[in-house]
Amino acid sequence: MAREEDLALPTSRKVLITLSVMLVTFMQVLDTSVTNVAITHMQGSMSASVEEITWVITSYLAANAIVLPATGWLAGVFGRKRYFLISITLFTLGSFLSGMAPNLTTLILARILQGIGGGPFLPLSQAIMWEIFPLAQRGMAMAIWGVGIMFAPIIGPTLGGWITDNWSWPWIFYINLPVGIVGFFMASAFLFDPPYLKRARRIDALALALMVLGFGSLQLLLDRGEREEWFDSNLIVTLAVVGGAALVLFLLRQLTAEEPVVDLTVFRDRNFASGAVIVAMVMFGLFSSMLLQTLYMQKLLGYDALSAGLTLAPGGLGNMLSLVVAGRLVTRMDQRLLLGLGCVVNAVALSMMGTLNLSVDYWHLALPRLVQGLGIGFIFVPLTILTMANIPRERLGNATTLFNVLRNFGGSTGIALAATLLARRSQVHQADLVGHVNIWDPETANRLQELTRTFFLQGADPHTARSQALATLYRATVEQATVLAFIDDFLLLTTLFATVIVLVPLFRRVRLTPAEPAPAPAGD
């Protein structure tokens, strides 16, 4: 294992490396959320159905999920610097082709290329940041890295809405081009392959095939499950069987191979195993809560994409503040206490999100996001420190890959299950409320009579006015049922973060010493 001083770098080099990796990582994370906002504009431009246009997102996520687990191994095959440059090239080229796409098929193929290029950015950048900073500075390094991956999806909807409204949807891809070009030249100039990087001696074609089949099927299952009515669909059942069998065989292959594509032995470290489970749970809660708030604003309150993005934006401000504070505190106190504090703050934020009605104002929605942003910073920095502290440097690439696989899996699962639970609970509450809405009930009859009179005064004939009143009453019942379903989802997420608090003692504390100031030159 390389000694700490083997990779001692001047501060200026660390800053330039940090800017290089963060630039392209921020671009990749931002692009995902920006695309989601522009999907309806693409649908109209491509004359595609809802089912067809969603493949623009699904294809990217599937390609991302396929390449991500092999990132550490591929860095060994090509060399880390070269693989990082290849990834930037593929992502930038995919962005250009996406913007130029004349039809849906070309757009989907270009998005697959983007996904293959963008998948490695997160684990590679995290490993590089962890490597170039000494132990005492890694808390702040992870805080800086966290600003990119946490802040990008928060400003993404706002930026995407503005671009599509004022320019056109291809520009959400074209804005990646200058960033990709600058990032390529910066990475070429400043990145390097560490002396301990283990080069792969052989290619395990069977393992790669099982990995592609397993992780690709799993991502498609999570992304398409709600639209296909889950296991009522033959497609979902097939994906579950094929993906599950492929993943089991892949894991067995990795446990017995001399040179595994993914080295699972890092799970023997208690801190890493605990951190992998917790990051999946945290991302489940974070991604699903963002989805739920967005759906609530757009479907029930009638917000457009830009307004919804501005309402979510305070979360980014809270996140940046807490990341900086946590980056300083993580070397001075027990990281488990900071992690527990972050979970408590998030549980409070989610319980605040669950106090919903159809007349909420801006701050009723934005304040919980601000509180949640404050909590996420106190989770992310100590969680990364606790998880990675005992991993040898030569195995960091593999460890960060697995960490981000679990992170992505948690986020994808959270989005899929939150949407499903929302639909199911809406049906339950609707059935319950309709059972209590009886036109012979005096209160309901009075409300129906008032609505009928309103429509009659607006010019409708008596029969039409009565029909409109009944339809309005039914819509109000459905809306109220949906509100109750949102409340149920947020209650579940509050419970999730309370559960994470219980798991925090599984970590062993990591002893970090604050960085010593550099000694003054002799003669000063």
Which CATH number belongs to the domain containing residue 102 in this structure?
Answer: 1.20.1250.20
pLDDT at 412 exceeding the cut of 60: yes
pLDDT at 182 exceeding the cut of 80: yes
Q: Do residue 126 and residue 244 come from a single domain?
A: no
pLDDT at 157 exceeding the cut of 80: no
> Which of 18-32, 148-162, 309-323, 492-506 shows the lowest mean pLDDT across its residues?
148-162
The pair of three-digit structure tokens given for residue 478, joined into one six-digit string? 């459905």
Terminal-to-terminal C-alpha distance of the chain: 37
96 occurs within a structural domain: yes
What pLDDT is recorded for position 38? 75
Q: Do residue 355 and residue 486 come from a single domain?
A: yes
Taking only the tens place, the pLDDT of each residue in 242-285 is 989 998 998 888 888 777 788 888 888 899 999 999 999 998 99
What pLDDT is recorded for position 200? 64
The pair of three-digit structure tokens given for residue 63, joined into one six-digit string? 């390609």
Q: Rounded CA gap, 409 and 445, in Å? A: 50
315 occurs within a structural domain: yes
Q: Which has the higher per-residue pLDDT, 67 or 299?
A: 67
What pLDDT is recorded for position 92? 94
- Using pLDDT thresholds of 50, 70 and 90, give the confidence band for residue 25: confident
Q: Do residue 119 and residue 189 come from a single domain?
A: yes
Backbone angles phi, psi at 196, to 5 degrees: -95, 5
Q: How far is CA 424 from CA 219, 421, 429, in A?
A: 22, 5, 9
Q: Do residue 348 and residue 215 come from a single domain?
A: no
What pLDDT is recorded for position 444? 66
Q: Do residue 81 and residue 148 come from a single domain?
A: yes
Mean pLDDT, residues 108-126: 89
Q: At what angle do helices 104-118 and 80-100 cross, to 10 degrees?
A: 160
Q: Do residue 435 and residue 358 come from a single domain?
A: yes
What pLDDT is recorded for position 8? 67
Q: What is the dihedral of CA 398, 411, 276, 387, to 10 degrees?
A: 80
Q: Rounded CA gap, 391 and 123, in Å? A: 14
Q: Rounded CA gap, 513 and 523, in Å? A: 28
131 occurs within a structural domain: yes
Q: Rounded CA gap, 42 and 163, in Å? A: 13
pLDDT at 442 exceeding the cut of 70: no
What pLDDT is recorded for position 311? 81
What pLDDT is recorded for position 512? 65
Asked whether 485 and 422 are in contact (CB, 8 A), the reply is: yes
Taking only the tens place, the pLDDT of each residue in 343-402 is 999 999 999 988 888 788 888 888 998 999 889 889 988 898 889 888 887 788 788 888
The pair of three-digit structure tokens given for residue 70, joined into one six-digit string? 């092999």
What pLDDT is recorded for position 48? 76
Averaged pLDDT score across all residues of the chain: 81
Q: Rounded CA gap, 92 and 468, in Å? A: 52
How far is residue 495 CA from its own chain's centroid?
A: 20
- Structural domain including 436 reads 269-512
Q: Rounded CA gap, 211 and 218, in Å? A: 10
- For tokens 């392209």, the residue is 24
Tell which of 152, 168, 201 closes a domain. Answer: 201
1 occurs within a structural domain: no
Q: Do residue 224 and residue 239 come from a single domain?
A: yes
Q: Percent of the chain at pLDDT above 70? A: 86
Q: Rounded CA gap, 109 and 93, in Å? A: 12
Q: Do residue 72 and residue 158 come from a single domain?
A: yes
Q: What is the DSSP letter of 195?
A: T
Q: Do residue 244 and residue 301 come from a single domain?
A: no
Buried b (16+ CB within 10 A) or exposed e, 391-412: bebebbbbbbbbbbbbbbbbbb
What pLDDT is recorded for position 436? 64
Neighbours of 44 (CB within 10 A): 10
The pair of three-digit structure tokens given for residue 496, joined into one six-digit string? 């999730």
Q: Do residue 156 and residue 236 come from a single domain?
A: no
- Using pLDDT thresholds of 50, 70 and 90, give the confidence band for residue 90: very high
- Give me the sign of the Cα torsion angle 414, 343, 289, 389: negative
The pair of three-digit structure tokens given for residue 290, joined into one six-digit string? 């963002």
521 occurs within a structural domain: no
263 occurs within a structural domain: no
Half-sphere exposure of 181 (CA within 13 A, CB side): 5
The closest alpha carbon to 290, from 23, 22, 36, belongs to 36
DSSP secondary structure string, 447-499? HHHHHHHHHHHTT--HHHHHHHHHHHHHHHHHHHHHHHHHHHHHHHHHHHHHH
What pLDDT is recorded for position 381? 86
Q: Rounded CA gap, 272 and 277, in Å? A: 9
342 occurs within a structural domain: yes
Asked whether 282 and 340 are in contact (CB, 8 A), the reply is: no
Domain count, the chain: 3
Q: Rounded CA gap, 223 and 420, in Å? A: 11
Mean pLDDT, residues 214-226: 83
Q: Do residue 197 and residue 214 come from a single domain?
A: no
Q: Do residue 104 and residue 212 come from a single domain?
A: no
Neighbours of 26 (CB within 10 A): 21
3 occurs within a structural domain: no
Asked whether 123 and 400 are in contact (CB, 8 A), the reply is: yes
Asked whether 371 and 348 are in contact (CB, 8 A), the reply is: yes
The pair of three-digit structure tokens given for residue 215, joined into one six-digit string? 């992780």
Q: Which has the higher per-residue pLDDT, 81 or 147?
A: 81
